[in-house]
Each structure stands twice: as structure tokens, then as C-alpha cells.
Amino acid sequence: MTPLEPPPDVKARLIVALDVETLGDAERLLDRLQGQVIRFKIGSQLFTAAGPAAVESVHKRGAEVFLDLKFHDIPNTVAGAAREAARMGVLMFNVHASGGRAMMTAAAEGAAAAAKELGVKYPVVQDNDFSIWRRYRNWAWPAAVIVDKKGVVRFTHIGEGAYSEMEQLIRRLLLEP
């Protein structure tokens, strides 16, 4: 392992946000982090600019995608979006709990239908009871929680911003033994 290469368990816990304006910007960041990061977040800005090509670009580099589009619509539309996200092969995606139980159930069913087509055994994790939120003492959205390789929460931020502070911490954590 080189000094810049994080331990494998850190790689599995880290998700780097591709919060950039263009697919070209994303690809430059992907190339720069290739081999060091295996999971990337694609949010609304990049997905609106580049569409599924952004997901394909991450996959071509052997990495996984968290599709952060916060689906929120009528249940049938969210089910369709969930189905398509699963067909694109994303590791995970999110839905807004404020859409209600019917919408969240439709999303789970849509993802499960696509997963069945693709032979994926366990496709859906729902946090209807907010147990994951509570585990990390999260009571707001959006929130960023950075957890180190030992599972210790090292940073929490509520709301937008703190991007450079988070990046600096992530860089430090990647270098920790």
C-alpha cells in the first residue's frame, strides 16, 4: 500500500461527492481519485447536466454510484424512477421521507422489481423508523456525517456548506493508519 492509498475498509466507507457542473469536470475528478475511492455520489446538478452518462462514467472506472436525487413525486413516478436507478446499477439512491409511506413503498417495490430482473438478492434498505438516522444522531436534512474506519463519527454538519472542511478531513482520514 502506498502512502496515498487508503486501507480497503476505508475505501468501502467513503463516498466522494461529484458536485461539479459538467461531465468533463466529473471525469477529471474520477481519474484523479481512481484507485483511491470506489464510491461516488452523483447529485441533481451533475445528473441534470449529464444524465445517465455520469453513472456510466463512474462504472467504467470500476466504481459504484450513490444517486442522490432525493426522489419525491407521486408513487407511480417514484416507482419508475427507482426501477430505472436500479437498472442503471447504482449502489443506492434516496427518496424523501416527506413523500409519505405510499411513495416510499412504491420506490421499494420499483427497485425490487428491477433488482429481480437483474438477479440482485437484497436490493432495498428503508429507514422508515429512522433507526439509521438515530444511530448517527441525525435530526436534520441535509446532513453530512463522516465516519472513520473504526466507525467513529468524526464530523457532523447540518445544512449546506462546510465542503472544504469536509474535504480536508477526508484527506486526513485517508492517510490515517
Distance separating the N- and C-terminal Cα atoms of the chain: 11
The pLDDT score that the predictor gives to residue 48 is 95
Q: Are 117 and 134 in contact (CB under 8 A)?
A: no
Per-domain residue ranges for the chain?
A: 129-177
| Catalytically annotated residue among 70, 121, 149, 150 | 70
Q: What is the mean pLDDT of residues 136-160?
A: 77
What does the pLDDT average to over 41-65? 96
Sorting pLDDT into bands at 50, 70 and 90, what band is 145? confident
In the annotation, is 149 catalytic?
Answer: no
CB 94 within 8 A of CB 71: yes
Question: What is the tens place of the pLDDT at every residue in 62-88?
Answer: 999 999 999 999 999 999 999 999 899
Q: Is the pLDDT of residue 8 over 70?
A: no
**Whole-model pTM?**
0.66
132-140: list long-range contacts, CB under 8 Å, 24+ apart: none
42: Cβ contacts below 8 Å, ≥ 6 apart? 18, 26, 54, 55, 58, 65, 66, 67, 68
Between 25-34, 61-70, 142-151, 159-168, the lowest mean confidence (pLDDT) is in: 142-151
Query: Would you say 95 and 109 are in contact if contact means Cβ atoms under 8 Å apart?
Result: no
